[in-house]
């Protein structure tokens, strides 16, 4: 064994399978090592393993061989005594299925093994102690989720140092299937809530367009994430990610007694239950926030700004954000002025533009608020940002995410819609928020005057949001074409 190595992480030909060389400090008494050092190892790219169980395998004699088992959890393996020859085979669905990697492991080396990669080893010394940290509790019921492959399969071409006919194997390990007969382990699924909403539909469209599998889309009728009783009916261990695209968004109705309760249930209680589930089952939770968590007193808002919501909707969204932040693996994407499939501001302006342009319609002018400024968020862009953060394993936390480009008022956006629709933009008349709601018969929620969000943080991850004006042009063109087809 080599002492005083530098802590180092090496990637292998199997995605996610990492070799970790670590310093071992020896003296006349023996040696000492930090077998798991979260801060140092995660800084070098080792995933932040949520350890819940430590297993130890004692191998009495040289030649004991075990494997190959692909388990439904991640693990971090090493040797506490002796040395092993380790072999790993990728049994996950995908292009690297069947890929093999081997290396020797003693106390100065560890291997991070992701879910679905089969693990096997051969003890190279008497009394070898093999240790592994795992992020899920073992149970007999979960063994049905294992995938196995035969360690003697010629297709794997594993060069075991000690011929297998001279080794000690279990009867079960001798009869595992050949690689050609193995059913690949599917990835953990992604649960999308609020599937019938604007963002939920966009996530579904993105998954379909990119050939992504393993997504399950639910709406309130199938899974009410604000109902504590609904959680017990789901096998959460089969999921890896939750994308919460559901929310209560009727900002004015939220000011009523009934709306207030509904907003807090969907926007605060629901996310808190999702966050608790994510903590308990080590899931990644993606949640969408709103510019309404701020009072709009600043011209531009970044992720570090303290909450200052003006109305019930914003207050309930802020509470939900705080709850989601309690999940160790979370992404909160803060948006503003969301536009997607379904009823929204752009669709309403397009319909009004058609009426103003119709000689047979008496409508000649449209009044739109001119003292609220921000940028539109198109849901296809938001869906792309969600997938980018997940795919690149970006640091967990809050990310502002809207369209890029210059800010504009609702009035200015309405004029652009009219222009793109071939209508007279001068038919749009600017008014103040107080003028617009002067004759409202029901409660009116206070709105932030400034909703522009700072995109610096998400851009640093490598994602470049589309200019909202380009997205608007494409959106209006598509919507007009669809209306003509109908």
CA separation for the pair 87, 78 (Å, rounded): 13
Distant-in-sequence, close-in-space partners of 407: CB < 8 Å, separation ≥ 6 = 373, 374, 375, 452
The gap from C-alpha 373 to its chain's centroid, in whole angstroms, comes to 30
Distant-in-sequence, close-in-space partners of 235: CB < 8 Å, separation ≥ 6 = none
* Residue 88 backbone phi and psi in degrees, to 5: -135, 140
Burial class (CB in 10 A: 0-12, 13-18, 19+), 6: exposed
Distant-in-sequence, close-in-space partners of 231: CB < 8 Å, separation ≥ 6 = 273, 277
Q: Which of 69, 176, 287, 450 is catalytic?
A: 69
- Is 69 designated active site? yes
Cβ atoms of 103 and 83 within 8 Å: the answer is no
**CA-closest candidate to residue 312, choices 359, 379, 374, 254:** 254
CA separation for the pair 430, 409 (Å, rounded): 10
- Is 399 designated active site? no
Cβ atoms of 198 and 377 within 8 Å: the answer is no
Q: Which of 112, 130, 132, 436 is catalytic?
A: 132
* Residue 374 backbone phi and psi in degrees, to 5: 180, -155
| Residue 2, token pair as written in the block | 């080599």
Catalytic residues: 69, 132
């Amino acid at each position: 064994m080599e002492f005083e190595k530098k802590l180092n992480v090496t990637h292998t030909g199997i995605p996610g399978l990492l070799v970790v060389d670590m310093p071992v400090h020896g003296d006349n008494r023996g040696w000492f090592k930090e077998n798991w050092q979260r801060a140092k190892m995660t800084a070098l790219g080792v995933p932040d393993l949520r350890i819940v169980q430590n297993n130890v395998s004692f191998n009495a004699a040289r030649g004991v061989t075990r494997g190959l088992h692909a388990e439904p959890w991640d693990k971090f393996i090493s040797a506490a005594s002796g040395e092993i020859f380790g072999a790993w085979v990728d049994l996950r669905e995908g292009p690297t299925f069947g890929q093999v990697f081997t290396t020797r492991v003693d106390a100065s080396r560890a291997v991070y093994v992701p879910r679905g990669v089969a693990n096997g080893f051969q003890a190279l010394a008497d009394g070898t102690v093999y240790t592994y940290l795992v992020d899920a509790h073992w149970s007999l019921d979960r063994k049905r989720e294992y995938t196995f492959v035969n360690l003697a399969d010629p297709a794997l071409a594993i060069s075991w140092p000690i011929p297998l006919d001279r080794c000690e194997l279990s009867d079960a390990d001798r009869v595992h299937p050949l690689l050609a007969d193995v059913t690949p382990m599917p990835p953990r699924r992604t649960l999308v809530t609020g599937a019938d909403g604007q963002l939920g539909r966009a996530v579904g469209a993105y998954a379909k367009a990119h050939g992504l599998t393993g997504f399950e889309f639910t709406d309130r009728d199938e899974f009410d994430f604000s109902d504590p009783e609904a959680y017990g009916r789901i096998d959460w261990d089969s999921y890896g990610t939750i994308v919460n695209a559901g929310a209560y968004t009727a900002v004015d109705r939220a000011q009523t007694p009934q709306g207030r309760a509904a907003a807090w249930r969907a926007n605060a209680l629901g996310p808190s239950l999702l966050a608790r589930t994510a903590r308990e089952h080590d899931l990644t939770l993606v949640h969408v926030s709103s510019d309404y968590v701020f009072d709009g007193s600043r011209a531009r808002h970044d992720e570090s700004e303290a909450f200052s919501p003006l109305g019930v909707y914003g207050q309930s969204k802020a509470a939900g954000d705080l709850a989601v932040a309690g999940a160790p693996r979370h992404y909160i994407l803060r948006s503003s002025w969301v536009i997607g499939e379904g009823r929204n501001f752009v669709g309403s302006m397009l319909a009004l533009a058609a009426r103003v342009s119709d000689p047979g319609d008496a409508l000649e002018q449209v009044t739109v608020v001119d003292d609220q400024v921000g940028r539109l968020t198109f849901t296809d862009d938001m869906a792309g940002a969600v997938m980018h953060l997940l795919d690149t394993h970006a640091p967990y936390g809050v990310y502002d995410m809207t369209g890029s480009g210059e800010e504009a008022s609702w009035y200015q956006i309405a004029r652009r819609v009219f222009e793109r629709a071939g209508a007279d933009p001068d038919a749009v008349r600017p008014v103040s928020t107080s003028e617009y709601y002067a004759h409202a018969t029901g409660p009116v929620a206070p709105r932030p005057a400034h909703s522009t969000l700072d995109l610096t943080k998400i851009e640093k991850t490598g994602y470049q949001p589309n200019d909202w004006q380009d997205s608007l042009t494409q959106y209006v063109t598509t919507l007009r074409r669809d209306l003509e087809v109908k």
